[in-house]
Amino acid sequence: MHAQGCDGSILIAGASAEKTARPNAGLRGFEVIDDAKSQLEGLCPGVVSCADILALAARDAVDLSGGPSWGVPTGRRDGRISSSAEASSLPTPLDPVPTQRQKFASKGLDDHDLVTLVGAHTIGQTDCLFFQYRLYNFTSTGNSDPSINQAFLAQLQSTCPKNGDGSKRVALDKDSQFKFDVSFFKNVRDGNGILESDQRLWGDSSTRRIVENYAGSIRGLLGLRFDFEFPKAMIKMSSIEVKTGTRGEIRKICSKLN
């Protein structure tokens, strides 16, 4: 979720740009977007925005990981503001469900959208830094987060030792980090969520119902359901506060303003 809507502001380089904010510390793959942009500029200069490239690349990443594909509405323009201070409105791994709910609601997204979009954690990684506190000193008394499955806790502790390297990367879905599937929801159900914010979805009755639905044991039926709901939620999110008409610009290089 971008601070000022889907306008490619995350791609801007700079000392106080959005990408330098702590919630964005784990983002990777900027060179893929830059490469797509330079190819497009060669073919049709000044036509396709970096914001559109991001939305299309997100769809392709899901499709190439065995998930659904969808028609991405295009025509966004690129924003001219990128500020790390504005990233304070982004969800963080520390957010309890009411805070997550409020942040999503402020962008017009409901509980169903929230759980569905967090399901993107079926692929990708995070840094030990973002969840290490759950393993060793959860309530400042030297214990671990009781919602972590005990067998999994030992595994995480060996991967992320107490004073180890916080930038070490760990799969967000322990079972199939390269495959877009519903195992992320099964992990949350079973106490195997990596981020505290993900695991908390099981502790709230409204979000828990949706997680249960996606993780359901009626094979095929409910798995397909996530495949059907995810594109709808992505289209909804990628339409937040888009810039069109004369607002914004079409950047020539994604990492810097024209």
Q: Which residues are annotated as a binding site for heme b?
A: 121
Per-chain mean pLDDT for the chain? 92
By C-alpha distance, which of 141, 237, 135, 138 is closest to 194? Answer: 135
Mean pLDDT of the region 240-253: 94
Task: Show binding-site residues for Ca(2+).
Answer: 5, 7, 9, 18, 122, 173, 181
Reported pTM: 0.92
C-beta separation of 160 from 128 below 8 A? yes
At 97 the pLDDT is 97
Q: Which residues are annotated as a binding site for substrate?
A: 91
pLDDT tens profile 50-105: 999 999 999 999 999 999 999 999 999 999 988 888 877 888 999 999 999 999 99
160-208 pLDDT tens trace: 999 888 899 999 999 999 999 999 999 999 999 999 999 999 999 999 9
- Residue type, position 95, single letter: D
CA distance 38 to 51: 14
Q: Does residue 112 carry a pLDDT above 50?
A: yes
| Residues placed in the known binding site | 5, 7, 9, 18, 91, 121-122, 173, 181
The stretch 135-155 carries a mean pLDDT of 92
Strand 169-171, strand 125-127: pairing: antiparallel
Highest mean pLDDT among 25-29, 123-127, 137-141: 123-127
- Quote the pLDDT of residue 2: 53
- Does 147 have pLDDT greater than 80? yes
Tokens at 230, concatenated: 């995810």
- Degrees to nearest 5, angle at CA 195 with 225 and 120: 30
Q: Are 202 and 208 in contact (CB under 8 A)?
A: yes
* Predicted pLDDT at 1: 45
User: pLDDT per residue over 201-231, tens digit each?
Assistant: 999 999 999 999 999 866 555 555 899 999 9
Sign of the alpha-carbon torsion through 62, 244, 6, 11: positive
Residue type, 232: K
Q: Decide if pLDDT at 18 tops 80.
A: yes
